[in-house]
Amino acid sequence: MSKSMTLRIVSQAVVIAILFGSHTSAIAHAFLDNATPKVGSVVTAPPKIIRIQLTQRVEVAFSHIHLFTAGGQEIAMGPAATDPSDQTVLSAPVTGTLAAGQYEVRWDVLSVDTHRTNGHFPFSYQP
Amino acid sequence: MEILLVSLRFVQYMAVMILFGSSLFPYYALARNGNSRGCNTDIAAFVQRVAFYASLAALLSAVGWLGCEAVLMSGDANGYREGATIWTVLSDTEFGGIWRWRLLLLLLLPIFLGWRLLRHRKPLVWPILASGILLVASLAGVGHGAMGIGFSVWAHLGNQAVHLLAAGVWVGGLLSLFHTIRYTRDAALGVEIQRHALERFSLVGFVAVMLIFVSGLLNSWFLVGSFDALLHTTYGQVLMVKVTFFLFMVALAVFNRLFLMPRLASASDSEVPLRLLLRSVAAEQIFAILVVASVSLLGTLPPAMDRMVM
């Protein structure tokens, strides 16, 4: 193999490595990263606020958090707001009263790249 | 709704790239001497005429795009005709922050150009160029270009703006080049003007292609992330189709530069290479349209990296 051909193959490999080398930068759309109360956790005090951290900044005007009982009854929540210092954090106050039992948090958000995502997770309240 | 959005995105991208690229063309591709003054005036008039229609198309597609976003963001099928929803999109989202002043500029530009055309004023290219730069670069902040957290937002935005502007130089410039070659076909100094324009366009086009290539690599790093994602996601596959169209454009540009231009200069009868050149530039324009169509679709798809995570 000639020197120039070796050079060409090496330079192409470098370009391909740069192009396709695996990396772990931010995800484009907003997915759930972590939440308070924690996903699937058991809490002993009723949460006053539901807080979710997403993998992308979200538009608060089109982002919501809802709370439901295991029977599907919706618990009253205040309007969602983003953390002023971190637009990936969305939280909403729980204004309704929680009895002991299983709950499901349902969230739907609009990321700043104008795509909608949604999800849900459970937690239990056992005083 | 997605198909409508892809179509509106296509019209928007094409229109603003034509505004920018075609109005930049006279600044680098035309000789400033007296012999080609007639040609320069004609190209400026052509640019102004094209810009009027392009700005109208950009305005209509921008309004339609806003309506689509109102529906998609709110999840309400009637969102496009609800004033409160439209206002929330415009006032409370990053998309709206950019769209507000884009709409204002797109409203003023056709009024200004239409007035000049009706009054038969001397063609004025620089306002079209300035608007074109703003309209193309600002598209970087809409959609996937806005993703990221902290420094990566600015890095991605800057890179996307360079990518779009470089593409605009080429895509829009092709239209003015095509017109220049056609217009000067029978002129006494036709071959000289064509040669000059082609040489300058080749040079500027080469720089644009390099910028497209490098910024495209960086964009892929942001949005695709791995070879696996490139092969196994719709986003990755559409991106590969787009790159294939882009490579066809590059191949035609190389063919023009290395094969047709020397023949144009040396042939006693330039008619044959000229006809070939016109066809080649037309084919390049078709591939440019296909590249922009692919871009319009990519913006509505979840980036490959997301799919691999889900």
For an interface test with A, give the residue of B305, B308, B309 to mutate (most A CBs within 10 A).
Answer: B305
| pLDDT exceeds 60 at position B176 | yes
Place B81 in a pLDDT band, splitting at 50, 70 and 90: confident
3-state secondary structure of A50: strand
3-state secondary structure of B192: helix
Q: Is A104 on the interface with B (CB under 8 A)?
A: no
The answer for A72, left when phi > 0, alpha when psi is -120 to 50, beta otherwise, is left
| pLDDT exceeds 70 at position B306 | no
Query: Residue B310 has what pLDDT?
Result: 45
For an interface test with B, give the residue of A12, A15, A22, A25 to mutate (most B CBs within 10 A).
Answer: A25
Query: Residue B132 has what pLDDT?
Result: 97
Place B18 in a pLDDT band, splitting at 50, 70 and 90: very high
3-state secondary structure of B75: coil
Interface contact flag, A27 B145, Cβ < 8 Å:
no
pLDDT-wise least confident of A41-50, A107-116, B142-151? B142-151
Residue spans of beta strands (DSSP E) within A25-115: 32-36, 42-43, 49-54, 58-69, 74-75, 81-83, 86-93, 101-111
The answer for B107, left when phi > 0, alpha when psi is -120 to 50, beta otherwise, is alpha
Non-local CB neighbours of A7 within 8 Å, separated by 6+ positions: none
Place A17 in a pLDDT band, splitting at 50, 70 and 90: very low
What percentage of chain B reaches a pLDDT higher than 70? 89
Q: Is B156 on the interface with A (CB under 8 A)?
A: no
Distance from CA of A22 to the nearest CA of B (A): 5
Interface contact flag, B145 A113, Cβ < 8 Å:
yes
Query: Residue B196 has what pLDDT?
Result: 83
For an interface test with B, give the residue of A23, A29, A31, A60 to mutate (most B CBs within 10 A).
Answer: A29
Tens digit of each residue's pLDDT (9 = 90 or more) over A62-121: 999 999 999 999 999 999 999 988 889 999 999 999 999 999 999 999 998 888 899 999
Q: Residues of A with CB below 8 A from B94's CB? A: 59, 112
Within its chain, how far is the Cα of B99 from the centroid? 18
